[in-house]
A = this chain, B = another copy of it.
Amino acid sequence: MSNLKSQIRVAILGYGNIGRAAEEAIKAAPDMELTGIYHHGDINEQMVNDKMVNDIDVVLVCTPTREVQKFATVLAARGICTVDSFDIHGQIWNLRENLDAVCQANKAVSIISAGWDPGSDSMIRAILMALAPKGLTYTNFGPGRSMGHTVAAKSKPGVKNALSMTIPLGTGIHRRMVYVELEEGADFKAVEAAILADDYFAHDETHVIQVESVDALNNVAHGVNLVRNGVSGETHNQRFEFNMTINNPALTGQVMVSCARAALRMKARGDFGAKTMIEIAPVDLLPGTKESLIKALV
């Protein structure tokens, strides 16, 4: 790793799946150096204040999503840029409002909800709306594990381990395939009924399947099929489709690292504040000069 002063100095706060993936993406980036990894369990807001603000340009906040705001706020208040992958869709605007004020006052940039959905999918949805302003967009997820649904299934009495897979059925409708490993003596029919009655599952087609080992099914693959059929001007039936099949934490970590670069570029231009990914120009996500990128990509 180079120690050139022009390298972006990046720290990681939180070292789970996403933090580890972000570490790999930082090491692969030609313009970044990793200055530190802080385990989420080892640190609190005061320690962030005391220990993390020297020689760091940007912190990737890879903590559980509900702890993003407190850490990002402490860092932004010290003028440190942050990137997070906050993923509670209904609370994104609130987070942006709260962090924006802190960033503006302290000349920092916080890129929020920087994953693949919310995140890069949001950029695709915005672009497709610009290409065909009237029409319908459907985002179909999977096949892949849903964390929220998996946690809900695991919470039922008698469940030792569970995995809820999201299966896309088109037009934004999803099937839930729930694999459960039972505790000794547990009644499968009772577990199945408890899962089907849970609000997480009650509105979707859900199948509960008993397995010997949930661990044997472990796979971080995920996918997206995002479709829009819309109208450009007065012309109907303009059809667009974006597909991906990806390793989930690897993509999330990579998106955060690309956004760390954008945060520094925006800060250098005096464009302070909290930003979602639809507020980022794609060129700012990439290493290299505008000249080389425009010549290669436009």
Contact = CB atoms under 8 A, between A and B. Distances in A.
A249 to B, nearest CB: 8
Residue of A25, A116, A126, A286 with most chain B CB atoms under a 10 A cut-off: A126
Contact of A89 (B123, B286, B298): B298
Nearest to A30: B133
Contacts of A124: 124, 127, 242
Contacts of A293: 126, 278
A214 interface: no
A93 B250 CA distance: 33
Interface in A73-106: 89, 92-93, 96
A31 B276 CA distance: 23
B277 A96 contact: no
A166 interface: no
A130 interface: yes
A255 interface: yes
Nearest to A113: B298
B282 A298 contact: no
Contacts of A243: 239-243
Contacts of A279: 281, 283, 290
A83 to B, nearest CB: 13
Residue of A21, A96, A116, A281 with most chain B CB atoms under a 10 A cut-off: A281
Interface string A228-254: 000111110111111111110011011
A181 to B, nearest CB: 27
B258 A246 contact: no
Contact of A125 (B251, B278, B297): B297
Given A27-B234, A127-B285, A130-B255, 15 more contacts: A21-B235, A28-B134, A92-B298, A116-B131, A125-B297, A126-B283, A126-B286, A130-B286, A238-B251, A239-B243, A239-B246, A241-B241, A241-B244, A278-B281, A278-B293
Interface of A: 21-25, 27-29, 89, 92-93, 96, 113, 116, 118, 120, 122-127, 129-134, 231-235, 237-247, 250-251, 253-255, 257-258, 276-283, 285-287, 290-291, 293-295, 297-298
